[in-house]
Amino acid sequence: MGKKTVSLIMLLCFTAIGQLSAEDGSRLWLRFQLQEKTNLPDFSGIQGELSSIALQEFQLAWEEMTGNSLLETDKPTGHTLLIGTLENRLIRRLVDREELHELGPEGYILRSVMQGKDRFTIIASTKENGLLYGAYHLLRLIQTNKYNDTLRITERPRYDIRILNHWDNLNGTVERGYAGYSIWQWDQLPEQISPRYREYARANASVGINGTVLNNVNASPDILTDDYLKKAKVIADILRPYKIKVYLSVNFSSPKILGGIPDSDPLNPRVRQWWQEKAREIYRLIPDFGGFLVKANSEGQPGPQDYGRTHADGANMLADALQPHGGIVMWRAFVYNPTEEDRAKQAYSEFMPLDGQFRKNVVIQVKNGPVDFQPREPFSPLFGSMKQTALMPELQITQEYLGFSNHLVYLATQWKEFLESDTHCNGDHSTVAKTTDGTLYQHPVSAIAGVANIGQDANWCGHHFAQANWYAFGRLTWDHTLPAEEIADEWIRMTFSNRDDFVAPIKQLMLSSWEAAVNYMMPLGLHHIFAWNHHYGPEPWCDIPGARRDWLPPYYHNASEKGIGFDRTTTGSNAVSQYCSPLNGQFNDVNSCPEELLLWFHHAPWSHRMQNGRTLWEELCYRYDDGVQQVREFQKTWDRMEPYLDRERFRHVQSRLRIQSRDAVWWKDACLLYFQTFSRMSIPYDIERPIHELEELKQIKLDLKHHN
Amino acid sequence: MGKKTVSLIMLLCFTAIGQLSAEDGSRLWLRFQLQEKTNLPDFSGIQGELSSIALQEFQLAWEEMTGNSLLETDKPTGHTLLIGTLENRLIRRLVDREELHELGPEGYILRSVMQGKDRFTIIASTKENGLLYGAYHLLRLIQTNKYNDTLRITERPRYDIRILNHWDNLNGTVERGYAGYSIWQWDQLPEQISPRYREYARANASVGINGTVLNNVNASPDILTDDYLKKAKVIADILRPYKIKVYLSVNFSSPKILGGIPDSDPLNPRVRQWWQEKAREIYRLIPDFGGFLVKANSEGQPGPQDYGRTHADGANMLADALQPHGGIVMWRAFVYNPTEEDRAKQAYSEFMPLDGQFRKNVVIQVKNGPVDFQPREPFSPLFGSMKQTALMPELQITQEYLGFSNHLVYLATQWKEFLESDTHCNGDHSTVAKTTDGTLYQHPVSAIAGVANIGQDANWCGHHFAQANWYAFGRLTWDHTLPAEEIADEWIRMTFSNRDDFVAPIKQLMLSSWEAAVNYMMPLGLHHIFAWNHHYGPEPWCDIPGARRDWLPPYYHNASEKGIGFDRTTTGSNAVSQYCSPLNGQFNDVNSCPEELLLWFHHAPWSHRMQNGRTLWEELCYRYDDGVQQVREFQKTWDRMEPYLDRERFRHVQSRLRIQSRDAVWWKDACLLYFQTFSRMSIPYDIERPIHELEELKQIKLDLKHHN
């Protein structure tokens, strides 16, 4: 009864909030709109442990959908929803124990069963974790009109650790955040608790995310002070029921800065001791603390190389401190120095020699591509190659390089391309996913991370459709074999409408949106030609006196009268050699290199003949124009959807699409007019003409330093 | 010999200037490029009066085209160019005296004649004026590859007075000028003489213009001071050889302001005497002075109504002062008061009752439309109706309401539509042209005026294609029956190239450019929804507290949830009644009113069914979008022309077309998004979507006060 009262109060609160800001996007994909009876299961009662978070969550949603509670029943008659572990007598009778154990603590069975005249819909797991995910699975089926009475589902996650990385600073700003200030209100903690923390937990749990790094990888040492740890503990306590563990980014110089030790040398016993004590202190506050995320010796951050030690020395020291408590170290491979070596090669060069030297509770966190979350990159060559060390992919959900929260870009297609890339390092079909999820190389832990796109904006992500990327990240971490289309389908139905007339065109829009953005920003393997620092808009001409060459676009595009692109072949930087055979050869040959990556691996002449017979210059022009035309079509598609939508979200997305449409033309004009100064060729005359002057575009300097 | 030396020096100067700024457009349509020999007449010599301006001009051009002088010959052998009046013995022999006299002082015969074995190309006239126009005609034929040896041409102008109105202020600014400061450098006169004055004279003479009003109709009294008259005399002396008379705009309060008389009442004998003395003073300096242009009792200018007198009283007083010297008064009918009466009706209301009361040397200058040089207006109802008074059309060459010198809008099509409008006031086929050129109503003088688009810009008019409007104005004043296409053809060939691959598409572009501008600015009879004051860009929402209602767009478009447009039917302002039958009835009926003028005459519901079956709202959307797409096509057409063009002019026009393309989208978005707030209908979904937000567009406030 007590729990039920709580649920009811929560429901009332939620409903009240819901009505005030009905369609501002704040409810994400958890809208649980009042369903038509025909779409609902005909549950006559519910059975299970009332204290179970899974049962509570289901009840809460059910009441929202139906306006009624589902009554607890001891004697099942009619159609009973049964949620429980093997502790439950009925579960033990209806589910095979062995089968359940094989699914692990997060796996579950979701099944329709007839028992005499009584029907059961069962959610069974060995642990409460699995029940929670199972309950959300059932809710998803109901929300998307896909529930039926012949369910036969078993699920277990592909990755053990499915984690968000918040690049949130302790002062409330968010690096590369485009949805307002950080949801973590450190200045108000531990006393004041935002209701958003629990909503955040529910949303993540509903898509299978089970970990979160609260603070920026460019970490302030302060996070490890007593004050901040007590604040973090409060968050951890709120997330725990939703099976989400808290992790922290740490500054490698913390012992020196906080501990008064002369250095932070990982081989210094005092340093090692400091970390061990800090670990104990953390675990006293947060017994299930997940571990550390570390950006070391990268872009000015301190690290073990400051003391002549290796990344392995640094990571292992932290791993040793966390190991007694069950914590892990996620050590980032995003390292590059202002040397003459091709930036795309440096992570591999630094980390490959260390393979085999890391502790078992170290995971190397590797960005999907070898440079930095560009619109399209080949996969990082560390994947597949580094076999004796656990590698976890790092994806970027926030759209640092994809139009911030102004552009509609559905990223599941990008991530699928990455996860399904065949590294060939362990024979054919050695996809990135299989080399990291434990299928091909076994390590104690598998993991995958995504840089969050979450902020204080009412709709969480700035753009309503950016929610889809949070959603898709979670779903893919659970099961990377899910098609991007299926994930989009689920999300659209839950977020907007189940109407087929709506779902089909919007799904099509989402599925083509990433390729559109690549087209109008950086087609054919172009990369990093963004505006300086903030990365919004084009600046292929960017030249900042004294700046690192590898932070400047001309370093990457190398446009000249001879051609365009970065020569990474054997006669160039030889980055191709970091890939396993036969990929290295395929990338090395301008005629076998995938055209989508042509200018990533090759400096090709403007007259290079593409497979469709066009010259490279012509193809570049058509791609940019395609991007513009695609966004115009997105606008048409969206405007047609007005009858299916609430006015608030319709107008919001409509307005962002207008910006995207303007930006696409901006990109096209800037890049074509700039590259034309080298190619000295005409833009094919059937293409819409530029409407800007190159010199005017060069004057644009947006003041977007803080992205808040 | 002396004259020849002068010509040669002029040639050298011109060539030198030409080479320095070869294709900056400064030479207008008088480029006289070195012609292929095959396109040139095989003149073996020239005969005529060496002092003739016609002969000089021809020689100058010939030398530019061929690099050689045409030798004077006394004994014609081979093919002689013969330029002369009846004073010339050969002319008397070869040309019929009667025929020549019928052509008047400006008319000419241009003819190929064989005399024995000798061939003559003859330019004959009774006066030097005609010889000059004939010489330019022959040069035009040569420049446009249309010269042949079977010429048989007789020409005389349709209007007696073909005049430019400069809205140039004495401080050097130009009201509604978009090509830099005034070419009249009053502060440097009379001592310093810009070489542009003579170039200006040549250009005008070459297209038949024979008068110019040097100063703004919003006239400073200073123009009639001794100082300024001496300056004007210098200009008049330079223009005189080119048969261009100088006129001045006068301020009606001049007697009071300059003469120290207590008032400027036209019936005050002291005032009349002051004007008579002023006229004598002017004619002492400028014996062929043309007369006065007067804007009185309009937009704050003083006038006879200030003293309870009529426009006729005022005009006649000035006419009486000028009459002894042969001067005329051009009295503007552009008058309207902030009353409740429809502004479109006021000129007619004020002037019709005065018909028959004006002196013979008064011409009423009437703007083409009843409001103010809008993208499209019906003709002013004064044309045809006011029969006992000479009326002269006033056209606007400068693009006050057509995108300034940023938009490519060829106006000959607009002017032809106007001139060929059938007033029906004197039976069918009573076109505006015929009611003003002396065909239907005879008056001592016929005239036509155009507000100049000329300034100090290197290319004279801001936009290279704006030169075409100066050119076309001149050509139409000479012969309003010339097709707009033929004029464009001439201009393109002389200004750019004779290559058919160039002429055909560019002619097509020019001929559709006005309709395109109407489409993206004010289709279907919409008018005056421009930005406040400067009239650049859309501001249909414009509301300036305290401003005259008839200066605000909502006065004209009347958009509401019920519909849009100005009801000028019999149940509205009844402006239709000012038109002769059957036009009044045709305009009055929403179903017979030409759709191009629908919203000029009618307030129509959004759902009004157009002839093509679309609703009015839909048609409005398609028209705006058509305008955008048309400008995009202009861009494509122009870019394809790059091989035929010098880089300087190609880039200049390309850049302006980009602005026009952006502006067209700006217009479309602003008007559709604004009117949509009333229609509450969707923009048809096959149309390209807006890329702006209405609220953002409302924030645009351009600082364009002085247009310089």
Written as one string, the DSSP assignment of B613-640 is: S-BHHHHHHHHHHHHHHHHHHHHHHHHH
Tokens encoding B676: 């949509």
Tell whether the model's pLDDT for residue B6 goes beyond 50. Answer: no
B632/A662 touch (CB, cutoff 8 Å), yes or no: no
Structure tokens at B493: 């060939």
How far apart are alpha carbons A386 and A389 in whole angstroms? 6
Does this model's pTM top 0.90? My answer is yes
Q: Which of B602-606, B616-620, B700-704 has the lowest mean pLDDT?
A: B700-704
What type of residue is A623? R
Distance from C-alpha of B417 to C-alpha of B420, rounded to nearest angstrom? 5
Average pLDDT rounded to a whole number, residues B150-171: 98
- What pLDDT was estimated at residue A185? 98
Residues 6 or more apart whose Cβ sits within 8 Å of residue A164: A204, A209, A211, A212, A213, A397, A449, A450, A451, A452, A454, A473
Active site residue B187: no
Distances (CA, A) of B476 to A352, A470, B434, B469, B472: 81, 67, 13, 10, 6
Contact B667, B477 (CB under 8 A): no
Structure tokens at B389: 């008074």
Strand B161-165 and strand B447-451: the pairing is parallel
| Closest residue in chain A to residue B651, using alpha carbons only | A693
pLDDT given for residue A12 in this prediction? 41
User: What does DSSP say about strands B108-115 and B118-124: parallel, antiparallel, or unpaired?
Assistant: antiparallel
**From edge to edge, which strands make up the β-sheet containing B45-48?**
B45-48, B79-84, B118-124, B108-115, B152-155
Helix then strand then coil, in percent of chain A rounded to 5, is 45, 10, 45
Residue A395, beta-bridge partner list: A450
Mutate to test the interface with B, among A691, A692, A696, A697 (most CBs of B within 10 A): A691
CB–CB of B689 and A642 under 8 A? no
Task: Give tens-digit pLDDT for B516-573.
Answer: 999 999 999 999 999 999 999 999 999 999 998 999 999 999 999 999 999 999 999 9
- H-type alpha helices, B104-259: 128-143, 196-206, 226-239, 254-259
- Say yes or no to pLDDT of A5 above 80: no
Q: Is A83 helix (H, G, I), strand (E, B) or coil?
A: strand
8 A C-beta contact, residue B135 and residue B54: yes
Q: Is the pLDDT of residue A37 over 90?
A: no
Cross-chain CB nearest to A636 (options B661, B685, B691): B685
Size of interface A-B (CB pairs under 8 A): 52
Please report the pLDDT score of residue A337 as a whole number: 81
Q: Which residues contact B269 (CB under 8 A, 6 or more apart)?
A: none
Does B686 sit within 8 Å of A658, measured CB to CB?
A: no
In chain A, what residues touch B686 (CB-CB under 8 Å)?
Answer: 636
Q: How far is B466 from chain A (nearest CA, A)?
A: 20
What's the first-to-final CA gap in chain B, in angstroms?
44
The per-type count for chain A, helices as H runs and strands as E runs, is: 23, 15
Q: Of B695, B694, B562, B697, whose CA–CA distance to B617 is shortest? A: B562
The pLDDT, as a whole number, for residue B37 is 67
Nearest chain A residue to B691, by CA: A658
Q: Which residues of A touch B683 (CB under 8 A)?
A: 639
Query: Would you state the pLDDT for residue A6?
Result: 40
- The whole-number pLDDT of residue A33 equals 84
Structure tokens at B405: 């010198």
The distance of B459 to chain A (nearest Cα, Å) reads: 21
**A86's tokens:** 């093997």
Q: Which residues of B539-552 are buried (b: 16+ CB within 10 A; e: fewer)?
A: bbbbeeeeeeebbb
Is B372 annotated in the active site? yes
Query: Which chain A residue has its CA at the smallest distance from B656's CA?
Result: A691
Tokens found for residue A399? 């759209």
Most A CBs within 10 A among B637, B655, B688, B691, hence the mutation to make, goes to B691
From the candidates B299, B501, B561, B688, give the one annotated as an active-site residue.
Answer: B299
Q: What is the pLDDT of residues B617-673, one digit of tens each?
A: 999 999 999 999 999 999 999 999 999 999 999 999 999 999 999 999 999 999 999
Tell me what pLDDT residue A317 has: 98
Q: Does position B16 have pLDDT exceeding 90, yes or no? A: no
Residue A7 reports pLDDT greater than 70 = no
The kind and range of the H/E element at A176 are none
Q: Strand B161-165 to strand B118-124: parallel, antiparallel, or no bridges (unpaired)?
A: unpaired
Interval A291-308: pLDDT, tens: 999 999 999 999 999 999
Query: Considering only CA atoms, which of B591, B552, B562 is closest in space to residue B675?
Result: B562
- Least CB–CB distance from B689: residue in A639, A685, A691: A639
Please give the DSSP secondary-structure letter assigned to residue A682: P
> Is residue B299 among the annotated active site residues?
yes
Residues in chain B closer than 8 A to A658 (CB atoms): 689-693
- Please, is A34 exposed, middle or buried when counting C-beta atoms within 10 Å of its C-beta (0-12, 13-18, 19+)? exposed
**pLDDT (0 to 100) of residue B415:** 98
Q: CA-to-CA distance for B604 and A218, rounded, in angstroms? A: 63
Distance in angstroms (rounded) separating the CA atoms of residues A654 and B232: 60
What is the per-residue pLDDT across B433-479, written as a single tens digit (0 to 9) for each? 999 999 999 999 999 999 999 999 999 999 999 999 999 999 999 99
Which whole-number Å values give the CA distances from B413 to A397, A487, B392, B473, B476, in the listed order?
56, 57, 19, 11, 11
Buried b (16+ CB within 10 A) or exposed e, A125-157: bbbbbbbbbbbbbbbbbbbbeebeeebeeebbb
Query: What is the spatial distance between Cα A525 and Cα A598, in angstroms, rounded to a whole number?
Result: 5
- 8 Å CB contact of A632 and B689: yes
Q: How many residues in chain A?
A: 708
Cβ <8 Å between B639 and A693: no
Q: Residue A165: helix, strand or coil by DSSP?
A: strand
Instruction: Tell me if B658 and A693 make a contact (CB, 8 A cut-off).
Output: yes
Strand, coil or helix: what is A196?
Answer: helix
Least Cα distance to A541 among A698, A307, A340, A310 occurs for: A698
- Give residue ranges of A with CB < 8 Å to any B CB: 632, 635-636, 639-640, 642, 655, 657-658, 661-662, 682-683, 685-686, 688-693
Tokens of A262: 């002369």
Catalytic residue among B400, B437, B515, B567: B400
Q: What DSSP letter does each residue of A542-553 carry, written as one string?
A: ---TT--GGGSH
CA distance A450 to B590: 63
Chain A positions touching B677 (Cβ under 8 A) are: none
CB contact under 8 A, B636 and A686: yes
Residues of chain B with a CB closer than 8 angstroms to some CB in chain A: 632, 635-636, 639-640, 642, 655, 657-658, 661-662, 682-683, 685-686, 688-693
Q: Which of A636, A658, A682 is opposite residue B642, by nearest beta carbon?
A: A682
Closest CA to B13 of B60, B56, B71: B60
| A237's tokens | 């306590």
In angstroms, the separation between the Cα of residue A691 and the nearest Cα of chain B is: 4
The total of other beta-carbon atoms located within 10 Å of residue B260's CB is: 9
Alpha helix segments (H runs only) across A522-646: 553-557, 583-588, 598-601, 616-640
Instruction: Give which of B658, B662, B689, B692 to mutate to test A binding, by max A Cβ within 10 Å.
Output: B689
Closest-approach residue (CA) in chain A for B692: A658
Is a pLDDT exceeding 80 seen at residue B21? no
Between CA A54 and CA A364 the distance in angstroms is 33
pLDDT at B459: 97
Query: How far apart are the C-alpha atoms of A130 and B635, rounded to whole Å?
Result: 62
- Residue A707 has a pLDDT of 54
Which residue of chain B comes nearest to A693, CA vs CA? Answer: B655
Angle between helices B226-239 and B196-206 in degrees, nearest 10: 50
Phi, then psi, of B212 in degrees rounded to 5: -150, 135
Between chains, do A691 and B655 touch, taking CB under 8 Å as contact? Answer: no
**Burial of A67 (C-beta count, 10 Å sphere; 0-12/13-18/19+):** exposed
Which whole-number Å values give the CA distances from B336 to B11, B314, B376, B391, in the listed order?
50, 17, 19, 18
Predicted pLDDT at B707:
54
Q: What's the gap between Cα B618 and its chain centre?
A: 34
Alpha helices, DSSP H, located in A225-340: 226-239, 254-259, 269-285, 311-322
Contact B323/B361 with Cβ under 8 angstroms?
yes
CA dist B624 and B669 (Å) reads 9
Q: Which two tokens stand for residue B261?
A: 């008389």
- CA B650 – CA B502 distance, rounded (Å): 12
Residues of A within 8 A of B642 (CB-CB) are 682
pLDDT tier for residue B75 given thresholds of 50, 70 and 90:
confident
Give chain A's domains with CATH numbers. 26-155 (3.30.379.10), 161-482 (3.20.20.80), 519-566+603-707 (3.90.1330.10)
Spell out the residues 6+ positions from residue A113 whose beta carbon is closer than 8 angstroms to its own. Answer: A94, A119, A120, A121, A122
Least CB-CB distance to A693: which of B635, B655, B685? B655
Name the residue of chain B whose CA is nearest to A639's CA.
B685
Rounded mean pLDDT, B209-218: 98
